[in-house]
Amino acid sequence: MFDSFELAHADLPGVRIRYRTGGAGHPVVLLHGHPRTHTTWHRVAARLADRHAVVCPDLRGYGGSSLPPDEPDHAQSSKRAMAGDVAALMTRLGHERFAVVGHDRGALVAFRTAMDHPDRVSHLVVMDGLPVVEHLERTDVRFAQAWWHWWFLGQTDKPAERVISADPDAWYRTPEPAAMGPENHADVWAALRDPAVVHGMCEDYRAGLGIDREHDEADRAAGRRIACPTLLLESEHDDLDIHGDPVPIWEPWLAQPLRHRTIPSGHHQAEEAPDEVADAILEHLDGTR
């Protein structure tokens, strides 16, 4: 897994980020979602590294990355804070301008990175994600039933950590090691059995229901839009279309027309259809420069 990549840690302001790097060329950052770690990208990263410098970090609070002390509004886990980690890490690695790809919760971070650091981000790829405010404003019975984990992980009166960490093997489900890749499977499960990581993941969702929404609302009110070319990768066998066609939902947030492709997979695209994902990313990065 990750042949010719280097595993390292970066001490950034207030946080320690675990990451891998490999390849050469125009840099691209790959951001995982819940409940994965950066190792979810191992098959995609190998393909991209033939033509790009690839950086795969664990989001703060996930995997081998740390989480600062909790703040009352969960700002330490905001997507703005995570986007700041991405920008700081890329500066540390000598990359002033880069592409960013994000899946699931990582899609929210990728979006926020492009919104907050427009001079740094050359291309954006979002996988199975919308701006969080778009989900929350469309919440109905169907969405609440299908995406109930948002509310379970995000509430604080009876913290979800106590339930999950009491028996993480009963709570989480993943494919078998052969399907995910044995090292990826082992890395994810080491994280899921760590109470500190479980807390970090819950804090991510708590920020999503509050401060992240506020940041999106402020951007929309100010008329801010993503400046760089943007690609949406939608899983064929998932439910990003629970609010209807995601393309018109994305369009008001973008200064350029949205590119859209459906990937023949379930939710975890990078593990289930790595070649199709890599091809789509490479076409977007190399075809819009």
Cis peptide upstream of residue 68 (ω within 30 degrees of 0): no
- Residues 6 or more apart in contact with residue 11 via CB below 8 angstroms: none
Beta strand 230-235 with 259-263 is parallel
Q: Of residues 34, 260, 267, 279, which has the active-site annotation?
A: 267
282 burial type by CB count under 10 A (0-12 exposed, 13-18 middle, 19+ buried): middle
Long-range contacts, 88-93 (Cβ 8 Å, 24+): 88/10, 88/12, 88/13, 89/10, 89/12, 89/17, 89/19, 89/29, 89/55, 89/57, 90/27, 90/29, 90/55, 90/120, 92/10, 92/12, 93/21, 93/27, 93/55
**267 among known catalytic residues:** yes
User: DSSP character for 226?
Assistant: B
**50 among known catalytic residues:** no
The Cα angle at residue 177 between residues 151 and 127, in degrees rounded to 5 = 45
User: How is 14-42 classified by DSSP, letter by letter?
Assistant: TEEEEEEEE--SS-EEEE--TT--GGGGH
Element (H, E) at 122: strand 121-127
Q: Of residues 58, 85, 104, 212, which has the active-site annotation?
A: 104
Distance from C-alpha of 134 to C-alpha of 280, rounded to nearest angstrom: 25
Distance from C-alpha of 51 to C-alpha of 145, rounded to nearest angstrom: 42
- Catalytic residue numbers, as ranges: 104, 267
